Amino acid sequence: MNDILLEVKQLKTYFFTEDGIVPAVDDVSFNIHKGETVAIVGESGSGKSVTSLSIMRLIEEPGKIVGGEINFEGINLNKVPRMKMREIRGNRIAMVFQEPLTSLNPVFTVGNQLAESIKLHQKKSKKEAREIGIEMLRKVGIARPDKVYDQYPHALSGGMRQRVMIAMALSCSPKLLIADEPTTALDVTIQAQILRLMRDLIKELDTSILLITHDLGVVAEMADTVVVMYGGQVVEKADVFTLFKEPKHPYTKGLMDSSPKIHEWNEELVSIPGTVPSPFEFPIGCKFADRCPHVMNKCKEEIPSLIEIRKGQEVRCWLHSEKVVDLE
Amino acid sequence: MSQLLEVKGLKKSFDVTRGLIKRKKQYLHAVNDVSFSVQKGEVLGIVGESGCGKSTLGNLIIQLLEPTEGEIIFDGVDLRKLPPEQLRKKREDIQMVFQDPFSSLNPRKRVFDIIAEPLKTHGSYNKVELEHEVLQLMDVVGLNRSYLNRYPHEFSGGQRQRIGIARAIALKPKLIICDEPVSALDVSIQSQILNLLKKLQKELQLTYIFIAHGLPAVKHVSDRIAVMYLGKIVELTTKENLFTNPMHPYTEGLLSAIPIPDPTARKDERRLLEGDIPNPVNPPTGCAFHTRCPYKTELCERVEPEFTEKRDGHFTACHHPLKEGKGIISQHEKY
């Protein structure tokens, strides 16, 4: 677990729009170790998806990575030439998207799309690619994989499509799988199946996962380490047990209190007041200042920095600018 | 409590016959023989996964769709037997909050026009009264009065949903159908809207039918919950019963599939439902759930179970209902 697979260091991705510059990802740093599952949690506009797209170098105009390093297996992806990136993308790092219907091409068969990356990255013949492809479909729990291989995406259910996407992503045994809201579009019983499948497969293939989600239930189920993002910044970072036991940032706490607790009775849900401001309306100081129940004058003036308050837990908040003393 | 709505044997089928030569008609039974009642002041939650017919059911009750069969008795009269003019009058009393706050508000109308529209259609207000009424509604749902002349695109999802709610309660309806009102919203906003809906329900003594695909949202607002699967209600009981003593294996599966936001409660060995939801055009024989049910017997494949009251106020359609205590909340936990 000590080997770092991916190191994201002070990543900055800005969007240069007509209305002004949007710092969608602003100074984000985290590591992913071999075999580890790291979850990025945040609501819309938190920058979680832009972070993952930056790692894949899939940021398009008017967006641009303006600073920082993305070190993957010792290479800074931010500096890698385009052609070299194509060798890494889909091969060493693969991605599963939220919407399984729009991320599969409707005019090609499942097999056609599945074999594409196998042929390209593993230099296999069409026949070999078919065998590997069918084997992958079997691995992701699709019954009659040889039949599904020749079917078109529209003939499959949402859960099946997401299984195909996972088969496709894992077909080249990537070291890192980026899953951007992989189960959000699925029904809850299917979601549970897909999560279990992902957990089993990564154990088998020794793949690390970067999981992007807004659902704390999914985080608790899957993650080893959690990165909480708000307004393009990391506001808290901790291992999953510490985070759920002792969330320190008011936003993390608010997020936890506002998710419905299905396994206990509670009358009133606690909610975070207000909404995420538009990118141009964030406060000057702490980005959460407008919605924070503990806001102080200092918060409105100065951005707090991310401070390690104890081993393995970092918080960006003026309430926690000193180390806590563990009483254990 | 008196009864506000009773639905009896409601059916809706869609003709899904394809091809030029229509030799054999094919029907999708979206809602297939559904019966239940709603008391005044009650919140009935309806849950089920995609394709179970929950939204069609909502649309049938509010008369956006014409039922194929069955009765919808609202406030003592069968809506299907009312002449159009009286039905129009009656519809004042049933309003709807939609899922997508982006497509359910007319982008070319101002907040004032959107909220005032039902008041103009059904009421007789002069200009001053109308503005007064709209401003009051905005206060009630927590919208700043200064937004009166803004357009929907200037608002976030949560605020738009507040506009939609203001429009729905404008005529002080007896019944509000909420069709997935929070599923398009961010987590921190969902709880705001759920709390608002609950507060309004208490203060204005509203009756809701609350439709959602997930139990978490439904649990928070409902008094009783109906679980639907492939066009039928498979279980209907109080919220407490459903979470502590579910009787239908599908309910058990739904409950155990919900990821719990507590990493210490990670259960790798928990039983998950296998397989996909069957094609509703060609549903399985017998009990429609038998293809995914871990407890199925030969009887289930053959005979469709009847929807009956198994315990006091606890209805289910299952040949082998579960024993008590199969829920995810222990019976001893204080409600």
Full residue range of the structural domain in which residue A106 is found: 102-171
Q: Is residue B296 part of a domain?
A: yes
To the nearest whole Å, the CA of B181 is away from the closest chain A CA by 15
pLDDT reported for residue A326: 53
pLDDT reported for residue B40: 95
Q: Is residue B294 part of a domain?
A: yes
Q: Is residue B204 part of a domain?
A: no
Q: Cβ separation of B259 and A260 shorter than 8 Å?
A: no
- Torsion, Cα A206 A218 A212 B190, to 10 degrees, reads 180
Q: Tell me the mean pLDDT in the region B127-132.
A: 93
Residue B329's closest chain A neighbor by CA?
A263
B52-79 per-position pLDDT tens digit: 999 999 999 999 999 999 999 999 999 9
Q: Do A139 and A15 fall into the same domain?
A: no
Specify whether the CB–CB gap between B57 and B49 falls below 8 A.
no
Full residue range of the structural domain in which residue B300 is found: 246-327
Give dist(CA A118, CA A97) in Å, integer: 19
Specify whether the CB–CB gap between A5 and A71 falls below 8 A.
no
B263 — phi, psi (to 5°)?
A: -65, -20
Q: Is residue A11 part of a domain?
A: yes
Q: Cβ separation of B258 and A262 shorter than 8 Å?
A: yes
Question: What ipTM, to 2 d.p.?
Answer: 0.84
Q: Is residue B319 part of a domain?
A: yes
pLDDT of B1 strictly over 70 = no
A155, A171, A187: which is the final residue of a domain? A171
Q: Cβ separation of A241 and B263 shorter than 8 Å?
A: yes
Q: Is residue A86 part of a domain?
A: yes
For testing the chain B interface, which of A38, A43, A184, A187 should be mutated: the one with the most B CBs within 10 Å? A187
Q: Higher pLDDT residue, A324 or A45? A: A45
Q: Do A129 and A257 fall into the same domain?
A: no
Domain CATH for A202: 3.40.50.300
From the list B198, B274, B276, the residue facing A157 with the nearest CB is B276
Residues 207-226 (A) with a CB less than 8 A from some CB of B: 214-221, 223
pLDDT of B334 strictly over 70 = no
To the nearest whole Å, the CA of B11 is away from the closest chain A CA by 24
Secondary structure class of A20 (helix, strand, coil): strand
pLDDT of A327 strictly over 90 = no
* Average pLDDT for chain A: 90
Specify whether the CB–CB gap between B200 and B169 falls below 8 A.
yes
Confidence band for A328, pLDDT divided at 50, 70 and 90: very low
How many domains, in total, are found in chain A?
Answer: 2
Q: Do A72 and A182 fall into the same domain?
A: yes
Q: Do A178 and A37 fall into the same domain?
A: yes
To the nearest whole Å, the CA of A194 is away from the closest chain B CA by 11
Q: Is residue A55 part of a domain?
A: yes
Write down the pTM of the prediction: 0.88
Least confident of A159-163, A194-198, A258-262, B224-228: A258-262
pLDDT of B249 strictly over 50 = yes
Residues near A131 by beta carbon (within 8 Å), at least 6 away in sequence: none
Q: Do A125 and A178 fall into the same domain?
A: no
From the list B159, B186, B214, the residue facing A188 with the nearest CB is B214
Q: Do A88 and A74 fall into the same domain?
A: yes
Q: Cβ separation of B261 and A268 shorter than 8 Å?
A: no
Q: Do A234 and A154 fall into the same domain?
A: no
Beta bridge pairs of residue B96: B177
To the nearest whole Å, the CA of A193 is away from the closest chain B CA by 7
Q: Is residue A327 part of a domain?
A: no
pLDDT of B268 strictly over 80 = no
Q: Is residue A74 part of a domain?
A: yes
How many domains, in total, are found in chain B?
Answer: 1
* Average pLDDT for chain B: 90
Q: Do A213 and A83 fall into the same domain?
A: yes
Tell me the percentage of chain B whose pLDDT exceeds 90: 67
Tell me the percentage of chain B whose pLDDT exceeds 70: 96
Q: Do A202 and A237 fall into the same domain?
A: yes
Closest CA to B152 of B126, B200, B115: B115
pLDDT reported for residue A1: 46
Q: Is residue B277 part of a domain?
A: yes
Confidence band for A155, pLDDT divided at 50, 70 and 90: confident
To the nearest whole Å, the CA of B242 is away from the closest chain A CA by 12
From the list B215, B261, B333, the residue facing A256 with the nearest CB is B261
Residues 274-293 (A) with a CB less than 8 A from some CB of B: 275-276
* Identity of the amino acid at B73: I
Residues of chain A contacting residue B274, judged by C-beta atoms under 8 Å apart: 193
Give dist(CA A129, CA A113) in Å, integer: 11
From the list B215, B264, B328, the residue facing A241 with the nearest CB is B264
Q: Cβ separation of A262 and B216 shorter than 8 Å?
A: yes
Q: Is residue B196 part of a domain?
A: no
Q: Is residue B288 part of a domain?
A: yes
